[in-house]
Amino acid sequence: MPKGTIALEEAVLEPGGIPRVARDAALFAPGADMAKHPLTAKLQDIHGERLRQMDAEGVEYMLLSLTSPGPQGEADPAAAATIASETNTWLAGEARKNPARFGALASISMHDPGAAAAELRRAVAELGCKGAILNDYQTVAAEGGGEGKVYYDGDEFRVFWKEVEALEVPVYMHPRYRTAPDLDPETGGEYSTRRHLLGAAVQFHLDLSFHLYALLSCGMLDMFPGVQLVAGHLGEGIPFNLWRASHWYNQPVKKATRPSKYDYEHYFKHNVSITTSGFYSTSGLKYCINEIGAARCMYAIDYPYDTIQEAQNWWKEIDLPAEQKEAVARSNAIKLFKLPLAL
């Protein structure tokens, strides 16, 4: 196929994975039978209609990943590890069927940081995955029952980030729906009576930007400066707040006690790339290019939650300088993910 766009945040669902996504699906499709839902068919198709649309619309390559929440949604450590290992083996196998058009991102259970590092190593070194995807925080069993959240800025996760740096692969940070306690009126969760705020419109970028700020400022990137993160949806809004976040983080009262050496702007410009997944705003992308540089911006669709046609129609008409347009559409992704494509 001639050179086209490279799409980096494109979801799939493995055979047998429907029950795992049913709870989240009920939030946007109440009462739907997900076994028969059109979205499920699109998630579970790789080499059929998906590829035909790619050919028709000019998408050269897709980097595939297990749809959210993946192992992050499983509170049981053993079950989460099984989801990760089995789906990584399956998805890498699917990508190998057509390596000129598809690659895979590894799913990782984050219950045990050492085991997470080992699974990432297996997925990259043995299976050929191009990096990892983490769907925000890890759901864990809370004391006294229920579910809790674990973020990855703690010291216990240094072993994982050390492996990320050693393998020289990016980690794509992706959003997810809230856990059950946040949706239960009896527990007083903030979304229990505000379900219209759940999902891509509001909740996703609020939650994931918090996690990203935590990762950028915890000191991890001072220890492992080679770590590269990717944030979709134009960086989950962070580029638009980057000046203010850094301005206040650099105030003397903050600077004297903060756990990181540098400010948010420094880490975002050295350790984070963003994609256009589900955010087809020309003015927004131009702002991000001006703020963090074209070399840190890449193309993505967010299929099947958004359509290939809509994304490609936008991209074909976007008025960027030719060099920037090529970099965002192709070459930045090839370099960062070490894709088997010609520049």
Residues involved in catalysis: 302
Residue 162 token pair: 């050390």
Residue 209 token pair: 């930007």
Question: Do residues 79 and 139 make contact, with C-beta atoms less than 8 angstroms apart?
Answer: no
Is residue 149 exposed (0-12), middle (13-18) or buried (19+ Cβ within 10 Å)?
Answer: middle
Tell me the β-bridge partners of 10.
64
Please give the backbone phi and psi of residue 233, each rounded to the nearest 5 degrees, phi first. Answer: 55, 45
Half-sphere exposure of 307 (CA within 13 A, CB side): 8
Residue 330 token pair: 């192709």
Is residue 66 exposed (0-12), middle (13-18) or buried (19+ Cβ within 10 Å)?
Answer: buried
Is the peptide bond preceding residue 19 cis, with omega within 30 degrees of 0? no
In the numeric block, the tokens 């975002």 are attached to 268
